[in-house]
Amino acid sequence: MTRQTGSDGRPQITNTAVDCTAEYLIQIGILQGDLNVTVRGDAPDDDAPLAAAERSLARSLLRRWRAEADAWDMTDPQPLPVRWTPSQRVESTGEYIPAGSGTDTIAGAFLRLSPRRRLVVLGTAGSGKTVLSVLLTLELLARRLTQGEHEVPIPLVLSLESWDTRRQSLTEWLVDRLHQDHPGLPPVDGVHPARRLVLDRRVLPVLDGLDELPAHRRAEVLDVLNTGLGGDGEAVLVSRTAEYADLDGKGKGLRHAAVIESLPLRPDEVADYLRRATPRARVKAWAGLLDTLRNQPSAPVSWALTSPLMVWLVRRSYEQPTADPGELTDRERLPTRAAVEAHLLDRIVPAAFPARPPDPGRLHPPRAWDAERADAWLSYLALLLSRREESELAWWRLYAAPLPRLLAVPALMTAGILLSLVIRAAMSGYARTTGLGDLSVTTDVMFGIALAALARSVTAGWFGQRLAEPRRSANPLLFIHALRSVDRHARVGPRVRLAALTGGPALVVLLLALYVFAAPDPVLVVFAIGAVLPILLMIVYAAPADTEDAATPGELLRGEQTALVTTLTLVAPLIGVGSGSLFWLDPHGPGSWWPAFGAWAGASAMFVLLSPWSRWILAKCSLAATGRVPWTLMTFLGDARTAGLLQLSGGTYRFRNRRLQEHLAGRRARERGSAAAPEPPRLTALADSRHFTVENTADHYHLRGRSRRLQLAHWAVLGPVMAVFLVRFTVAGQWEHATSWVAMLFLPFLGVLITVTGFLMPRRRIELELTRDGVTSVTGRRRRSYPWQHVEEITVRRMVFRGRDVGIYALQVRLLPGAPRPPRRSRMGDGWYLVLPLGLTPHVDDRLGDALAGLAGPRWTR
């Protein structure tokens, strides 16, 4: 509002409203002149919905990583004094970043990178590279939200372990993770903004865990990452120095990236940091350790505390009033740096779960976990992850532990038999009124099981999810939100989605109309209500919800439980009604509601027994009964995360540091009588030297012999089918009849027969020849030849045949653009082609590895 004086000497008031939502303008005062109101309307901002989604994502991530930083004591009483320097072992291919320290400095240095913001953060185990990346993430998020720097990308911290480069590009992986971890972001143009955020370069992938991948996958991940980033993509990559330097020496590093290396903490800086973090009443107890750090930088404890992980362990281990941090300076007990580190790692679990009595005045006091038992539980989980070469602890993958897998079939049969007895008792009166007796009950239950299996399979194919992965069910009362999730999370093409979502309801209406006006056949109603409609509802209500954000393990478990309840209360009753209509609409039918109850019971049994929730219950109960984990496992994991031992990674947990996981796993293995986790059997095609001969010179390698077949791929198909048949066999009551056992055992017998027959067949001819010109292989009657001039890379990878991982490793090549393409049977996906199957492990004979290194040159990646 401006006040001016008019030509007649009277004041004139001018009001200008710019970019506001005011509906009324109230002017208070005495007007002696004209009142002028000017409204200037700017063009609508098309990016406003996307900007709202960005703010929501940034706030969610800032809350999450602030909580993680607090759990790790990263910012209390102030951020750790992290420092970095340009890497001496890896040459930067991007802009030079000078040495520095501090969170705001590293954020500013990253934002000043031009023309590409790509950064590689290296360091040794426990050196602070992960701390540096987390503090960088916090600073970028704070700048984005509090300072309004819209050009700052939103950092998205992800573990490379969750990226299957054989099946997903970088863009699709980022989109998928945004869908999974942040389903509640505000929609843009009616759909989830994940794809817009990724394609418009609004998110910055901060990728950790490259060094934790198997050796044969690291180069593959970096190749796909370089391709996905293109010429102007931004990224931050975190890795151990040795592993990344090995890749960079082979030309497999991150292109156009600045490379820095985290520096060890200085003992005097650590002393100042610990002094500020020490309560005044405990200063004397810490005086001896602080004095050693300031005046004896070469002492074992001074070397050990150059690692942020060890500094955190010291704070947590000696924060109790009775703990004496001065014992760390005792060189007789702890003569070396390794001894100090092992001592701290052994004390961390008791320090994280102290024996504190709960406050009686609190309504819900925290649980006091027994430190010794908590140590045993965490050690078992660490050993389980180390044996799988994984770092992400997911509750739905706990089923893959040896004990739950061993008990899977007996538990499924027991539960099915008990359910059959309950159903039989409930429907005993109905069975007596029919001429078929118990056979009528069996028929009704089997019909419900068959329709439920159909709906379950179609839903799994729609969302592209494995049957053992959790679902997050949408709120049944929010149908529009659920419908958006169907389109947003589908893994089928847009034409299939359009045909299903429009043609499905139309088909239901058409079938019902045909029954009413044309052909009064109850089968039409059964197909419409008992088959098509349940499939549509399963698709709609099994999609990830729009009303939750930032998925956690607990949210995923509750979402799976909600999805299960939804199927039991919406989908299974429809199957029952559809099945019962076959009797209700038949003029000669019994007109009883018991057939509908039987079909509902069979469908419910199928949904429950083969759900991720039931597998989780089996895994938790079996492991808890044997003392491997607590009965309240999710509560324990949440408390371990609050104590700083674990961290959240989307919907999974990870140990605070890989060093901590390896220490706990190694100690558990030693307690069980072995120095380390057992190495998997080397069942490779080249392992039996009795049936192979090798000619090896500087210019020629020739392996020839014969090998038996080990047919395993068919079990990936037979396994799910056998589970469905087992549910039908037990729940329907067929287990009481001896002839039914023959039918039930046919599928496993067929699987074993295929495996044994393949193994007993005459040995196949196996040849592998390496020369300066190329590689040639012979498997049976098939011959494959690849000249080196056409080969870009040769390595050992998992075999993926027609989109299915068959669980076998093979020597494979990736060809250069324009090279002749081999036959279809040799295609392994993503541009890879088969050379020779090896077996169940990626190991190759040392002589073969040396021959590949010498004859293939830089093309060979071990």
Q: φ and ψ at 714, to 5 degrees?
A: -70, -20
Average pLDDT over residues 658-681: 64
Please work out, in degrees rounded to the nearest 5, the angle formed at the alpha carbon of residue 318 by the alpha carbons of 314 and 321: 160
Average pLDDT over residues 509-516: 85
Among 771, 759, 768, 761, which Cα is nearest to 705's?
A: 768
Give SS3 for 831.
Answer: coil
pLDDT in tens, 130-155: 778 888 888 888 888 876 666 788 89
In 10 A of CB 284, how many CB atoms?
Answer: 10
In 10 A of CB 276, how many CB atoms?
Answer: 10
CATH class of the domain defined by 52-263: alpha beta
Amino acid at 739: T
Is pLDDT of 704 > 90?
Answer: no
- What does the alpha-carbon distance between residue 264 and residue 325 come to, in Å, rounded to a whole number? 21
Position 614 confidence tier, pLDDT thresholds 50, 70, 90: very high
**CB-based contacts of 721, cutoff 8 Å, min separation 6:** 747
Per-residue pLDDT at 619: 93
Cα–Cα distances in Å, from 781 out to 133, 368, 678, 766, 767?
Answer: 53, 66, 37, 9, 11
DSSP designation for 1:
-
Is pLDDT of 240 > 50?
Answer: yes
- Burial of residue 794 (CB within 10 Å: 0-12, 13-18, 19+) is buried
Q: Supply the pTM of this predicted model.
A: 0.68
What is the pairing mode between strands 764-771 and 804-815? unpaired
Cα–Cα distances in Å, from 222 out to 94, 150, 245?
Answer: 16, 29, 13
- Is 303 within 8 Å of 337 (Cβ atoms)? yes
Average pLDDT over residues 389-400: 84
Position 551 confidence tier, pLDDT thresholds 50, 70, 90: low
Position 11 confidence tier, pLDDT thresholds 50, 70, 90: low
The structure tokens listed for 585 are 């609409």
Sheet order of strands, 35-40 included: 2-5, 11-18, 35-40
Position 488 confidence tier, pLDDT thresholds 50, 70, 90: low
Give SS3 for 238.
Answer: strand
Is pLDDT of 699 > 60?
Answer: yes
Please list the residues that pair with 815 across neighbouring strands.
Answer: 791
- The maximal CA–CA distance of the chain, rounded, in angstroms, is 115
Q: Considering only residues 760 and 364, tell me which one the structure prediction assigns the higher pLDDT.
A: 760
DSSP H/E element including 406 = helix 402-426
Per-residue pLDDT at 403: 92
- What does the alpha-carbon distance between residue 283 and residue 290 come to, in Å, rounded to a whole number? 10
Position 56 confidence tier, pLDDT thresholds 50, 70, 90: confident
- What does the alpha-carbon distance between residue 724 and residue 735 come to, in Å, rounded to a whole number? 14
The structure tokens listed for 353 are 């779960």
**CB-based contacts of 745, cutoff 8 Å, min separation 6:** none
Per-residue pLDDT at 830: 67
Q: Where are the domains of the chain?
A: 2-40, 52-263, 267-352, 371-394+617-671, 406-610, 679-708+763-862
pLDDT in tens, 843-858: 777 788 888 888 888 8
Average pLDDT over residues 259-264: 84
- Burial of residue 215 (CB within 10 Å: 0-12, 13-18, 19+) is middle
CA 495 to chain centre: 29
Residue carrying structure tokens 């970088």: 170
In 10 A of CB 489, how many CB atoms?
Answer: 21
- Is 293 within 8 Å of 131 (Cβ atoms)? no
- What does the alpha-carbon distance between residue 549 and residue 558 come to, in Å, rounded to a whole number? 13
- What does the alpha-carbon distance between residue 40 and residue 611 come to, in Å, rounded to a whole number? 58
Q: How far apart, in Å, do the first and last CA atoms of the chain sit?
A: 73
**CB-based contacts of 716, cutoff 8 Å, min separation 6:** 804, 806, 807
pLDDT in tens, 330-386: 888 888 888 888 888 888 888 778 765 544 444 444 567 888 888 889 999 999 888
Average pLDDT over residues 270-289: 85
The structure tokens listed for 26 are 């109230």
Please list the residues that pair with 686 across neighbouring strands.
Answer: none
Is pLDDT of 483 > 60?
Answer: yes
Sheet order of strands, 832-839 included: 827-829, 832-839, 804-815, 791-801, 860-861
Amino acid at 774: G
**For 25-34, 301-310, 806-815, which range has the lowest pLDDT when averaged over its residues?**
25-34
**For 261-270, 431-440, 749-758, 783-792, which range has the lowest pLDDT when averaged over its residues?**
431-440
Q: Inter-axis angle of helices 479-489 and 494-517, to 10 degrees?
A: 130
Q: Considering only residues 597 and 162, tell me which one the structure prediction assigns the higher pLDDT.
A: 597
Give SS3 for 651.
Answer: coil
In 10 A of CB 687, how many CB atoms?
Answer: 17
Residues comprising the chain, all counted: 862
- Is 176 within 8 Å of 537 (Cβ atoms)? no
Query: Left (φ > 0), alpha (ψ -120 to 50) or beta: where does 13 sit?
Result: beta
Alpha-helical regions (H) of 230-365: 241-249, 267-277, 283-295, 300-304, 308-317, 337-352
511-533 in b/e form (b: 16+ CB < 10 A) is beeebeeeeeebebbbbbbbbbb
Please list the residues that pair with 837 across neighbouring strands.
Answer: 810
Per-residue pLDDT at 625: 92
Please list the residues that pair with 836 across neighbouring strands.
Answer: 811
- What does the alpha-carbon distance between residue 582 and residue 695 come to, in Å, rounded to a whole number? 72
Considering 128-132, 458-462, 786-790, 801-805, the range whose residues carry the highest mean pLDDT is: 786-790
On the question of a common fold for 52-263 and 371-394+617-671, the answer reads no
- Of all residues in the chain, the percent with pLDDT exceeding 70 is 79
pLDDT in tens, 615-628: 999 999 999 999 89
- Burial of residue 809 (CB within 10 Å: 0-12, 13-18, 19+) is buried
Position 90 confidence tier, pLDDT thresholds 50, 70, 90: confident
pLDDT in tens, 23-46: 555 655 555 555 555 555 444 445
- What does the alpha-carbon distance between residue 225 and residue 254 come to, in Å, rounded to a whole number? 8
Per-residue pLDDT at 685: 42
The structure tokens listed for 112 are 């000043």
Amino acid at 722: M
Per-residue pLDDT at 621: 93
Q: φ and ψ at 497, to 5 degrees?
A: -60, -45
Position 404 confidence tier, pLDDT thresholds 50, 70, 90: very high
Residue carrying structure tokens 């802009």: 95
Per-residue pLDDT at 804: 60
Residue carrying structure tokens 């705001």: 104
The structure tokens listed for 435 are 């001429």
CATH class of the domain defined by 371-394+617-671: mainly alpha
Per-residue pLDDT at 815: 86
The structure tokens listed for 315 are 């704070």
